């Protein structure tokens, strides 16, 4: 015979699965801030919506490309400044050189080097991020392909042969740097 506790237990366990489905995944589902997660040894707190939004912005291809462009310009400007300070202006006699002429020469080299490095950084970073997003993997092949495409695009300005050499050289350089960075860190 069934006792009154068993009957009561049967009544409380009857579930209308259509209602349960609607509550969990249907359009009228209840959204609760109270998420129950098991406590593990090294558990981390859940990220807030703002943290997830900022993380998504920082990991976007547009942000990576813009950052590479700015950092590339800064590195190129520094290299241009160094190059301009080491490279004497041969076309003008030393006694005719003025501070204005020297500063103008510095400005031209800094901007030229900065734009070149900014373009290389932005193109490489954008292509690598696009390849990584398309493939869904983060490995050495992304950098190699991006290096080949970037080197080929830069080299094509001087011709087809230069494009092929640029693609091979930039791909090899990207592969070596990627291997070094992955094994080191």
Q: How many CB atoms lie within 10 A of CB 10?
A: 10
What pLDDT does residue 151 have?
96
Q: Measured in Å, how far apart are the chain's first and last C-alpha atoms?
A: 69
Could you tell me the residue ranges of all domains in the chain? 50-88+97-136, 139-184
pLDDT one-digit tens code per residue, 98-144: 888 888 889 999 999 999 999 999 999 999 999 999 999 989 999 99
pTM of the predicted model over 0.75 = no
pLDDT one-digit tens code per residue, 82-91: 998 887 666 6
Q: How many CB atoms lie within 10 A of CB 61?
A: 15
The answer to whether 129 and 118 are in contact (CB under 8 A) is no
Share of the chain above pLDDT 90, in %: 56
């Amino acid at each position: 015979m069934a006792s009154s506790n068993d009957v009561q237990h049967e009544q409380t366990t009857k579930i209308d699965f259509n209602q349960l489905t609607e509550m969990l995944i249907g359009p009228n589902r209840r959204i609760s801030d109270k998420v129950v997660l098991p406590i593990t040894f090294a558990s981390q707190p859940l990220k807030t919506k703002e943290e997830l939004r900022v993380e998504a912005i920082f990991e976007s291809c547009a942000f990576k490309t813009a950052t590479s462009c700015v950092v590339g310009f800064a590195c190129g400007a520094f290299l241009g400044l160094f190059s301009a300070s080491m490279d004497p202006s041969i076309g003008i006699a030393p006694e005719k050189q003025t501070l204005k002429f020297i500063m103008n020469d510095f400005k031209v080299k800094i901007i030229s080097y900065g734009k070149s490095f900014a373009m290389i950084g932005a193109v490489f970073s954008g292509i690598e991020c696009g390849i990584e997003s398309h493939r869904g993997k983060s490995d050495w092949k992304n950098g190699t392909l991006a290096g080949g495409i970037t080197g080929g695009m830069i080299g094509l300005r001087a011709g087809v042969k230069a494009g092929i050499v640029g693609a091979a050289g930039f791909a090899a350089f990207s592969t070596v740097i990627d291997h070094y960075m992955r094994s080191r860190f």
